[in-house]
A = this chain, B = another copy of it.
């Protein structure tokens, strides 16, 4: 009955949509430059303010990149770019179960990934994983930040082995945020526990790596399950200690 009187979209939003549409149509391909602000003003018959706000939004979405003094270019769609918003969501999400759910999600998904990695691994992957393991062993016990990053890197390498960009993309927020989780939330164990936890981690990573070297998917999956079960348990323990 009532047609939307709306048109509630702001000028800059409309311009933003038109530019997006042009990009989506292939009118401007990744790497190419879109018209200058001045030209866009003339094309759309609006002020530079409106154009600039539209451009700012598109840049924030990662659809274009603006180079000062040069112009705005359609960005090469990159996994990093695409997952930035997801990462932001994770960071801002105030859900207290977030960490627990993240760990549970990893428990569901990573065993499969380990299994796939065992099937598709090459010598190059093995070398990478072995180097990572050595680095972790050498890492200072008190440098928990580096250790967390190396730990994370191990899992990232695993996810990269099946050469499935989508899989990597979807899981990237988890791996990006994991070190932050550890730093901010996990309780600091006493020195003795620290050592024990690290040794345990190294053993688990070794088990996973060996299974992958042997191309034994089932064993890799099972080793990963064990590893993450420990992670889960450690988290529960640390939360209990806080009370």
- Nearest CB of chain B from residue A189's CB, rounded to whole Å: 25
With contact pairs A56-B56, A167-B105 given, residues A85 and B112 touching in the complex (Cβ less than 8 Å): no
- Nearest CB of chain B from residue A40's CB, rounded to whole Å: 16
Give A162 to B173 CA distance when docked, in angstroms. 20
Please tell me which one of the listed residues B26, B98, B174 contacts residue A170 in the complex, with CB atoms under 8 A apart.
B174
* A194 located at the interface, meaning its Cβ lies under 8 Å from any Cβ of chain B in the complex: no
Q: Is the CB of B91 within 8 A of A24?
A: yes
* A89 located at the interface, meaning its Cβ lies under 8 Å from any Cβ of chain B in the complex: yes
On chain B, the residues within 8 Å of A170 by CB distance are 86, 105, 170-171, 173-174
Give A26 to B91 CA distance when docked, in angstroms. 11
Give A59 to B13 CA distance when docked, in angstroms. 12
How many chain-A residues does the 8 Å CB contact rule pick out? Answer: 53
Render A129-173 as a binary contact track against B, CB cut-off 8 A, 1 for contact: 000000000000000000000000000000000101111011101
On chain B, the residues within 8 Å of A68 by CB distance are 10
Q: Is the CB of B105 within 8 A of A85?
A: no
On chain B, the residues within 8 Å of A85 by CB distance are 61-62, 81-86
A-B contact pairs, 14 of them (CB 8 A): A26-B94, A56-B60, A57-B60, A60-B61, A61-B85, A62-B88, A82-B89, A84-B85, A85-B86, A86-B86, A101-B164, A101-B167, A108-B109, A108-B162
Taking beta carbons and an 8 Å cutoff, which residues of A are in contact with B? 10, 12, 23-24, 26, 30, 52-53, 56-63, 68, 77, 79, 81-86, 88-89, 91-95, 97-98, 101-102, 104-105, 108-109, 112-113, 116, 162, 164-167, 169-171, 173-174
